[in-house]
Chain A
């Protein structure tokens, strides 16, 4: 009997120690709720939010940006325009590899400053090939370099997008105007889409993005350039907060050589339509059947 009670006491002691050790191990989580509200935790999917819900969410996100980054911003839910199908084309003959597009993307889309993040990667490839294996992205010299050509790559907004198919929770989908978007407040961060994308177009928020308040672009949309939370995927949205309001993508405006052509493919008078009808265009990795909306073409 005495042995049993000693055993029970020891067990109780062990359980207490175990519980204390568990609490100690979990202690770092105490810092978590700073960035986590109940409203955010219970927020429904973008497509399930009513107009009123959306307004509340947008105001909350604006407040969070003010609290966490000290920046006053406006976040809109910019919807697609009917009868518009966006397309993008890039003239490889005139691209000089200056990466102004990547830089403009960095600024426009409120990317993390420390990692110099951008949705655009520019490949420098030896002339005589369009083999990506022959390319490099970390070139560091004056451009254009003789004997080299340049190929910027960003999201191709595929019509048959592998990233959309693989997402287990519909956190990413194709909008009616052809843009593939992510609900940053629904994504669980499994990164299956990043594995599925053949174009290295997706980015993950490995850390909470850091941007000085004065550098934050205050003109934001829910599905595009608002400051992303930690632990979710993001990607190029053809600057939908601009393009759905009739403006051009930031990367296009920044391009000094006019290599970039963007517009509504359904508009017979658009420049994009002219390029698609008159130039020899190609898409990257056509054999994969992804049907991109991002086309490359040559002048000659």
Chain B
């Protein structure tokens, strides 16, 4: 096999598949592209006009961008909840669809990297962060660890996805030695990305709200909520829209995981709340601000109670016997927990770290329109990557995108399959 010829063919066919589909596909992609461009435009304005165009300040110096960064790192780590059943427990049904999790990891990491980059005051100097090129403050700065683990996780998953899809494209069986070690590495690595991201915050002694040893476990558990929840919803969409015959079994496995992690997440939040409020003192100020409001400042109170309500309703649904038979109920639970974690490990985690400030000034923060536009743009970009990845995978696994097949198969038009 001549890879110098077949790999370009693989890429060419992938581009072909990625730009070819039915009207629903074109509509979806046009919508996402338009939203992504809105984000690009908002970011371009911010670069020229300064970060002052956002609602952030010297008091609340990280906002919606870092909130979404934290959440998307969790989403990427959560994808491993497909990988573990598929490869460690040899779950055959999960193994057939595990590529969805691996592609989610790639898309989510790309989003996380974009979220950090739009938060930089000087994106023109981002190269200072490149090991070897700039001055990499490793191992002292946790942010350099994050660069290493996020970059590494992206490369590992790109390799796994790329290798599996390429060999299938060639019509061959993937060789274990070329992907299994990387899959095992990716499991440990998934835990590391969200642990390091938690350490970014928990390592700061001057911010009592974050300076807690339970932060990393909390991050990991909520990643194992948001990841499986997203994948359940994605699988439901894929089997309906792309008409891929995915059985219920992997969904039930993921829901079984969710049933535990949703409760664990609530338990961890509860432990944190107990410690904060029972001991009291000025240490509790941020938690008070978040949950109850402080001296008339209560912008985040509706957010966090929404998150807790969503988590609780989802937990009840997932524990009910009916959700095991009627998957639409489980879908609702997944959507609720996904939004719940997005709030709780996003705005609900980042903003209270800054309120009150280290000199106990109460300055609040609510993202403004420009920040929302950038954030929506990045989510759209992430969904573009995920959609295209899934579409290419579906075509390859269905045998419709394969190397050295006749140009046209009469009874199988190339643009079948929709999204």
* Docked complex: B357-392 residues within 8 A CB-CB of A: 357-361
Q: Do residues A169 and B61 form an inter-chain contact, with CB atoms below 8 A?
A: no
* Given known contacts A188-B129, A206-B51, A198 and B206 CB-to-CB distance under 8 angstroms: yes
Q: Do residues B122 and A189 form an inter-chain contact, with CB atoms below 8 A?
A: yes
> What are the residues of chain A within 8 A of B135 when measuring CB–CB?
45, 169-171, 186
Count the A-B residue pairs with Cβ separation under 8 angstroms: how many?
176
A96 to B290, CA, bound (A): 35
Q: Which of B138-146, B214-222, B264-272 is found at the contact surface with chain A?
A: B138-146
Q: Do residues A285 and B44 form an inter-chain contact, with CB atoms below 8 A?
A: no
A62 to B325, CA, bound (A): 73
A108 within 8 A of B: no
**B35 to chain A: closest CB distance in Å?**
11
Q: Do residues A28 and B136 form an inter-chain contact, with CB atoms below 8 A?
A: no
A229 to B125, CA, bound (A): 13
Q: Do residues A231 and B137 form an inter-chain contact, with CB atoms below 8 A?
A: no
A232 to B123, CA, bound (A): 11
For A188, give its contact among B125, B205, B358, B361 (CB under 8 Å).
B125
> What are the residues of chain A within 8 A of B360 when measuring CB–CB?
132-133, 135
Q: Do residues B205 and A288 form an inter-chain contact, with CB atoms below 8 A?
A: yes
A142 within 8 A of B: no
Interface range for B: 35 or more
* Given known contacts A25-B38, A196-B206, A123 and B359 CB-to-CB distance under 8 angstroms: yes
B56 within 8 A of A: yes
> What are the residues of chain A within 8 A of B228 when measuring CB–CB?
none
> What are the residues of chain B within 8 A of A21 when measuring CB–CB?
33-34, 37
Closest-by-CB residue of B relative to A112 is: B52
* Given known contacts A28-B41, A207-B50, A168 and B358 CB-to-CB distance under 8 angstroms: no
A131 to B45, CA, bound (A): 41
> What are the residues of chain A within 8 A of B27 when measuring CB–CB?
none
* Docked complex: B99-127 residues within 8 A CB-CB of A: 116, 119-126
Interface membership of chain A positions 176-205, coded 1 if the CB is closer than 8 angstroms to chain B and 0 otherwise: 000000000011111110111111101111
Q: Do residues B144 and A168 form an inter-chain contact, with CB atoms below 8 A?
A: yes
B48 within 8 A of A: yes
Closest-by-CB residue of B relative to A48 is: B135
**B140 to chain A: closest CB distance in Å?**
5
* Given known contacts A189-B121, A190-B119, A198-B205, A166 and B358 CB-to-CB distance under 8 angstroms: no
A153 within 8 A of B: yes
> What are the residues of chain A within 8 A of B358 when measuring CB–CB?
197-200
A29 to B357, CA, bound (A): 33
Q: Do residues B44 and A27 form an inter-chain contact, with CB atoms below 8 A?
A: yes
* Docked complex: B278-333 residues within 8 A CB-CB of A: 282, 285
A231 to B143, CA, bound (A): 19
Q: Do residues B122 and A232 form an inter-chain contact, with CB atoms below 8 A?
A: yes
B17 within 8 A of A: no
* Docked complex: B119-171 residues within 8 A CB-CB of A: 119-126, 128-129, 134-137, 140-144, 147
* Given known contacts A191-B61, A230-B121, A169 and B47 CB-to-CB distance under 8 angstroms: no
A24 to B37, CA, bound (A): 9
> What are the residues of chain A within 8 A of B356 when measuring CB–CB?
133
> What are the residues of chain B within 8 A of A195 when measuring CB–CB?
61-62, 204, 207, 353-354
* Given known contacts A25-B40, A137-B359, A162 and B48 CB-to-CB distance under 8 angstroms: no
Closest-by-CB residue of B relative to A171 is: B128
**A99 to chain B: closest CB distance in Å?**
15
A136 to B37, CA, bound (A): 43
Interface membership of chain B positions 189-224, coded 1 if the CB is closer than 8 angstroms to chain A and 0 otherwise: 000000000001001111100000000000000000
Which among B34, B37, B59, B361 has the greatest number of chain A C-beta atoms within 10 A?
Answer: B361
Closest-by-CB residue of A relative to B138 is: A168
For A208, give its contact among B50, B59, B126, B203 (CB under 8 Å).
B50
Q: Do residues B48 and A231 form an inter-chain contact, with CB atoms below 8 A?
A: no
Q: Do residues A165 and B128 form an inter-chain contact, with CB atoms below 8 A?
A: no
> What are the residues of chain B within 8 A of A41 when measuring CB–CB?
124-125
A25 to B44, CA, bound (A): 8
A167 within 8 A of B: yes
For A204, give its contact among B48, B58, B124, B357 (CB under 8 Å).
B58
A11 within 8 A of B: yes
Q: Do residues B142 and A169 form an inter-chain contact, with CB atoms below 8 A?
A: no
Q: Do residues A230 and B126 form an inter-chain contact, with CB atoms below 8 A?
A: no
> What are the residues of chain B within 8 A of A31 when measuring CB–CB?
48
Q: Do residues A230 and B143 form an inter-chain contact, with CB atoms below 8 A?
A: no
**A96 to chain B: closest CB distance in Å?**
19
> What are the residues of chain B within 8 A of A32 when measuring CB–CB?
47-48
A153 to B358, CA, bound (A): 11
> What are the residues of chain A within 8 A of B49 when measuring CB–CB?
28, 207
A187 to B134, CA, bound (A): 11
Closest-by-CB residue of A relative to B281 is: A133
A218 to B53, CA, bound (A): 29
A12 to B84, CA, bound (A): 42
A258 within 8 A of B: no
Q: Do residues A29 and B121 form an inter-chain contact, with CB atoms below 8 A?
A: no
A48 to B350, CA, bound (A): 35
> What are the residues of chain B within 8 A of A205 when measuring CB–CB?
50, 121
Closest-by-CB residue of A relative to B356 is: A133
Which among B20, B58, B121, B205 has the greatest number of chain A C-beta atoms within 10 A?
Answer: B121
A27 to B358, CA, bound (A): 39
Q: Do residues A190 and B120 form an inter-chain contact, with CB atoms below 8 A?
A: yes
**A56 to chain B: closest CB distance in Å?**
19
**A22 to chain B: closest CB distance in Å?**
6
30 contacts between A and B (CB under 8 A): A11-B19, A18-B33, A22-B40, A25-B41, A26-B41, A26-B44, A131-B282, A133-B360, A153-B359, A162-B204, A165-B140, A166-B142, A166-B204, A167-B143, A169-B135, A169-B137, A186-B128, A188-B129, A190-B121, A191-B61, A191-B121, A196-B207, A197-B206, A198-B206, A204-B58, A205-B121, A207-B52, A231-B51, A231-B121, A288-B206
Give me the interface of B with A, judged by CB distance under 8 Å: 19-20, 33-34, 37-38, 40-41, 44-45, 47-52, 56-59, 61-62, 116, 119-126, 128-129, 134-137, 140-144, 147, 200, 203-207, 282, 285, 353-354, 356-361
Leading 5 A-B pairs by shortest Cβ distance: A189-B121, A198-B206, A231-B121, A206-B52, A168-B143
